[in-house]
């Protein structure tokens, strides 16, 4: 018989709900804020994310982009379509691997990116930076632990 999970006092349901609430709130609010910021430049949230992601490195393959913004290729194809339509990015087939498409900023895209000072998750990060180092470390430790545990459960299933 497999050993049972160690028995310990479970935290109260109220605490758990508060945590779920807070994560949901932080996530949706940060998305809302990013969207608002992007809107001032005629962009959407994901488009701003792509722009700022390309700015330092010049170009990325579509797959690299979708991995970084946590979306599927089929989603990113559409986002790039619209940004290309606006003349912000351009597509170029890779020479070494003809399947790969490199996405790069146009001059217009580079200019626009340079004019926007804030990163997409900036407000989120700003608030986090106001925590004491001890709290930040605690938060990091506990959340990372949670993430690992979720991964375990997912992979088992």
Minimum Å gap between C-beta 117 and its own copies is 16
Q: Does 47 bind DNA (CB under 7 A)?
A: yes
Cβ atoms of 140 and 69 within 8 Å: the answer is no
Longest alpha-carbon distance in the chain? 65
Q: Which C-beta is closer to DNA: that of 13 or that of 99?
A: 99
Cβ-count burial of 109 within 10 angstroms (0-12 exposed, 13-18 middle, 19+ buried)?
Answer: buried
Q: Residue from 19, 55, 59, 62 that binds DNA (CB under 7 A)? A: 62
Question: Which spans in 45-132 are helix H?
Answer: 45-57, 62-68, 73-85, 107-115, 122-129
Which of the stretches 3-11, 58-66, 108-116, 141-149 binds DNA when contact is defined by CB under 7 A?
58-66
Cβ-count burial of 35 within 10 angstroms (0-12 exposed, 13-18 middle, 19+ buried)?
Answer: middle
Structure tokens at 93: 């087939």
Residue 130 interaction partner, one of DNA, its own copies, none, beta carbon < 5-8 Å per kind: its own copies
Complete edge-to-edge strand list for the sheet that includes strand 89-93 = 59-61, 101-105, 89-93
Which of the stretches 8-16, 63-71, 128-136, 142-150 binds DNA when contact is defined by CB under 7 A?
63-71
Q: Does 69 bind DNA (CB under 7 A)?
A: yes
Minimum Å gap between C-beta 78 and DNA is 5
Q: Residue from 68, 91, 141, 149 that binds DNA (CB under 7 A)? A: 91
Question: DSSP character for 70?
Answer: T
Residues of this chain that interact with its own copies (CB under 8 A) are 5, 8-12, 15-30, 33, 70, 121, 123-133, 135-140, 142-147, 149-151, 153-154
């Amino acid at each position: 018989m497999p050993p049972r999970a160690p028995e310990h006092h479970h935290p109260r349901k109220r605490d758990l709900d508060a945590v779920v609430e807070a994560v949901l709130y932080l996530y949706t609010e940060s998305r809302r804020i990013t969207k608002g910021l992007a809107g001032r430049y005629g962009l959407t949230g994901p488009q701003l994310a792509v722009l700022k992601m390309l700015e330092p490195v010049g170009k990325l393959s579509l797959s690299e982009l979708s991995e970084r913004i946590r979306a599927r290729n089929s989603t990113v194809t559409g986002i790039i379509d619209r940004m290309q339509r606006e003349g912000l990015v351009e597509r170029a087939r890779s020479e070494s691997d003809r399947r790969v498409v490199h996405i790069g900023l146009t001059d217009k895209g580079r200019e626009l990116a340079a004019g926007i000072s804030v990163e997409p998750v900036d407000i989120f990060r700003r608030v986090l930076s106001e925590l004491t180092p001890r709290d930040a470390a605690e938060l990091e430790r506990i959340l990372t632990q949670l993430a690992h545990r979720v991964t375990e459960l997912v992979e088992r299933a």
